[in-house]
Chain A
Amino acid sequence: SQKIEQNSEALNIQEGKTATLTCNYTNYSPAYLQWYRQDPGRGPVFLLLIRENEKEKRKERLKVTFDTTLKQSLFHITASQPADSATYLCALAAGQNFVFGPGTRLSVLP
């Protein structure tokens, strides 16, 4: 069956460290993978998009990798700050639909 998993429900890290979030999928062949941030009481906000033929994408302190062989994407936040605390969701384009993972709740501790 098709499945998207994110490595952990919650992740706590110390301010200044690099946060690494994982998105694994099975029985999908996405051409694109996206990452979103969601704050409590708000809708998800788009962060980054990576294509299947791209290994890595960067935007400021954010970096995303995409390994279609492992069926995995890694999302990194370097020099993390308490303001980065939120839930992060990965999403696949599966046919005509966007399918979202369950999310990882990141807490950056001061």
Chain B
Amino acid sequence: DAGVIQSPRHEVTEMGQEVTLRCKPISGHDYLFWYRQTMMRGLELLIYFNNNVPIDDSGMPEDRFSAKMPNASFSTLKIQPSEPRDSAVYFCASSSASTGNSPLHFGNGTRLTVT
């Protein structure tokens, strides 16, 4: 099993540009989570999907952020337009359940720098 795969590993962009982060979850996992990690705020849940349907997007900071899951093996997180305060490490994770009875499997993240 290849685990959760995220791309790119690093992204540097200028303020105002569109950024798209990608994630391939573990096959067979029905839940996919997007988290953001910063020194100040730690790991924050942005949105999660169940069977490709967004269930809770209350953690999405503002309308500049959007996430899609067109099929069971692919998800994107888009920021448009990007701002310097969006600089963080973005993690995708998948799980076989949304409850705490099942572990989260994380990718290695995308480090985003917005200048």
> Does B56 interact with chain A (Cβ within 8 Å)?
yes
A97 touching B48 in the complex, CB below 8 Å, given contacts A43-B4, A43-B91, A103-B42: yes
B103: min CB distance to chain A, Å: 4
* Stretch of B70-78, B80-88, B105-113 contacting A (4+ beta carbons < 8 Å): B105-113
Determine if B56 and A43 form an interchain contact, defined as CB atoms under 8 angstroms apart: no
Residue in contact with A98 in the complex, picked from B42, B104, B107, B108, CB distance below 8 Å: B104
Determine if A30 and B106 form an interchain contact, defined as CB atoms under 8 angstroms apart: no
- Chain A interface main SS type: strand
Q: Which residues from 19 to 71 on chain A have a C-beta closer than 8 Å to any C-beta of chain B? A: 30-34, 36, 41-46, 49, 51
B16: min CB distance to chain A, Å: 28
Alpha-carbon gap, A43 to B35, bound state (A): 11
Determine if A31 and B100 form an interchain contact, defined as CB atoms under 8 angstroms apart: yes
- Chain B interface main SS type: strand
Residue in contact with A93 in the complex, picked from B91, B100, B109, CB distance below 8 Å: B100
A21: min CB distance to chain B, Å: 15
A96 touching B107 in the complex, CB below 8 Å, given contacts A32-B99, A49-B100, A89-B43: no
B101: min CB distance to chain A, Å: 6
B74: min CB distance to chain A, Å: 18
Q: Which residues from 88 to 102 on chain B have a C-beta closer than 8 Å to any C-beta of chain A? A: 91, 93, 98-101
Which residues of B are found within 8 Å of A32, using beta-carbon distances? 99-101
Alpha-carbon gap, A31 to B100, bound state (A): 7
Alpha-carbon gap, A94 to B100, bound state (A): 8
> Does A86 interact with chain B (Cβ within 8 Å)?
no
Determine if A43 and B106 form an interchain contact, defined as CB atoms under 8 angstroms apart: yes
| Selected A-B contacts with CB under 8 Å, 16 pairs | A32-B101, A43-B93, A43-B106, A43-B108, A44-B106, A51-B101, A91-B100, A92-B100, A93-B99, A96-B56, A97-B48, A98-B33, A98-B100, A99-B45, A100-B42, A101-B42
